[in-house]
């Protein structure tokens, strides 16, 4: 039986833009966030408080959150460490996300830390965030395959993922960073996590569409009872530190599937498509989403 209602966790302004080479003006980013909220997206992750040299596109995180003002305080932001958390706390933000790696190589490339070492960075970050009353999400990357290490053992993903979640997170998002996973893997991974004691509402699925599998994988997630899906408007996105990572599952493609299945999601497709068409014009290239092209006539 499929869920009756799903939460779409929009990552367009963060995952969608972090890999864009040309700097997007901060007020365009603010407009993007506001339009996504207006289109009915219940959660819009806005930016990252990472090292500005590591992700230059998001170096304006503080300016963006200042422009968004009081309305922006509930937008989640990525924080890798205590320095990032301090920057978020200064602005009165209420939701942060840490992002760990299931593999040694990607931990090194993305965080400049080893697989085990990353926890020394996250532990005080989550502890202090929780003490300050913030909600914390945890991401775990490379759950379905790693461009340097190949297949990643399910036990390793579960062990790293649970350890991240147990630091004090309210949700664990399982990332297919390079979009190589297939539906059977989704079923197996969700089962492995629930066998390890996690509930389906503590889990979210985060697909990239590199190999065109994202929507099929989301369907496998629905069948497994998962009710939170990360997606990016227009299918923007990719991780600058993961070789071959392309855009996320397009929010419009997910919305189309959910509507067809009669699953409640709360998003206005027309407004969302109009937003992605507008953003594509800002970036100077068409959206890769099939639904944006069909509905938006681009
Ligand atoms: P590091 O160089 O090891 O940092 O980088 P450090 O701790 O050694 O500090 C060095 C200097 O950086 C210090 O300054 C710090 O204050 C400063 P100094 O004392 O030398 O003047 N610094 C900072 N400044 C501002 N904000 C900060 C910050 N931290 C340190 N937060 C670090 C380690 C984690 C910072 C770096 O590796 C980093 O920023 N990585 C972020 C990479 C990233 O954002 N990747 C994309 C997001 S993950 C993703 O996309 C996957 C996901 O979508 C899920 C999926 O698809 O699987 C979530
Ligand atoms: Mg991602």
Which tens digit of pLDDT belongs to each residue from 259-279?
999 999 999 999 999 999 999
pTM across the whole model: 0.97
Which tens digit of pLDDT belongs to each residue from 90-102?
999 999 999 999 9
Phi/psi of residue 77, nearest 5 degrees:
-135, 150
Question: Considering only CA atoms, which residue is closest to atom 28 of ligand 1?
Answer: 51
Ligand closest to the CA atom of residue 51: 1
Which pLDDT value is given to residue 75? 98
Which tens digit of pLDDT belongs to each residue from 120-160?
999 999 999 999 999 999 999 999 999 999 999 999 999 99
- Report strand pairing: 77-78 vs 47-48: parallel
Average pLDDT, the chain: 96
For residue 28, pLDDT over 70 is answered with yes
2-6, 17-21, 217-221, 261-265: range with lowest mean pLDDT:
17-21
Mean pLDDT of 153-168: 98
Structure confidence at residue 241 as a pLDDT band (50, 70, 90): confident
Which pLDDT value is given to residue 158? 98
For residue 176, pLDDT over 80 is answered with yes
Per the residue annotation, which of 174, 239, 272, 277 is the catalytic one?
A: 239
Mean pLDDT of 22-30: 97
Ligand 1 atom at minimum distance from 84 CA: 31
Pair 230, 207: CB distance under 8 Å: yes
- Report strand pairing: 95-101 vs 135-141: parallel
ipTM tops 0.95: yes
Ligand 1 pocket, Cβ-based, cut-off 6 angstroms: 15, 18, 48-51, 54-55, 78, 80-81, 83-84, 87, 99, 110-112, 139, 141, 175, 177, 206, 208, 239, 241
Q: How far apart are CA 143 and CA 160, in angstroms?
A: 10
Residue length of the chain: 298
Q: Record the tokens describing residue 88, joined without a space.
A: 């978020």
For residue 244, pLDDT over 70 is answered with no
Mean pLDDT of 48-55: 98
Structure confidence at residue 239 as a pLDDT band (50, 70, 90): confident
- CA–centroid distance, 239 to ligand 1, in Å, is 13
239 has catalytic annotation: yes
What is the DSSP annotation of 129-172?
A: HHHTT-EEEEEEE-SS-BTTTBS--HHHHHHHHHHHHTTT-SEE
For residue 297, pLDDT over 80 is answered with no
Q: What is the C-alpha R_g of the chain?
A: 17
Ligand 1 binding pocket mutation candidate from 10, 14, 20, 51 (most atoms within 8 A of CB):
51
Place of tokens 């997007």: 24
């Amino acid at each position: 039986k499929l869920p009756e209602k799903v939460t779409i966790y929009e990552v367009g302004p963060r995952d969608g833009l972090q890999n864009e080479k040309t700097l997007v003006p901060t007020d365009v980013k603010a407009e993007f966030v506001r339009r996504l909220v207006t289109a009915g997206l219940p959660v819009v992750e806005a930016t990252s408080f990472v090292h500005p040299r590591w992700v230059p596109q998001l170096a304006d995180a503080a300016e963006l959150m200042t422009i968004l003002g009081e309305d922006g305080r509930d937008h989640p932001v990525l924080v890798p460490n205590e320095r990032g958390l301090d920057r978020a706390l200064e602005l009165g933000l209420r939701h942060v996300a840490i992002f760990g790696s299931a593999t040694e190589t990607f931990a090194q490339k993305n965080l400049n830390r080893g697989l085990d070492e990353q926890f020394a960075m996250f532990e005080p970050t989550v502890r202090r965030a929780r003490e300050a009353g913030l909600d914390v999400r945890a991401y775990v990357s490379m759950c379905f395959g790693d461009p340097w290490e190949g297949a990643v053992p399910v036990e390793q993903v579960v062990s790293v993922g649970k350890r991240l979640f147990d630091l004090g997170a309210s949700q664990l998002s399982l990332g297919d960073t390079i979009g190589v996973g297939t539906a059977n893997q989704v079923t197996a991974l969700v089962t492995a996590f629930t066998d390890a004691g996690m509930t389906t509402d503590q889990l979210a699925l985060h697909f990239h569409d590199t190999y065109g599998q994202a929507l099929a994988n989301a369907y496998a997630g629905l069948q497994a009872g998962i009710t939170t899906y990360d997606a990016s408007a227009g299918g923007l996105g990719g991780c600058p530190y993961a070789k071959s990572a392309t855009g996320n599952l397009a929010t419009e493609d997910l919305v189309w599937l959910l509507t067809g299945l009669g699953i409640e999601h709360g998003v206005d497709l027309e407004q969302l498509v109009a937003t992605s068409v507008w953003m594509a014009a800002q970036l100077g290239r068409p959206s890769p989403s099939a639904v944006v092209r069909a509905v938006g006539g681009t």
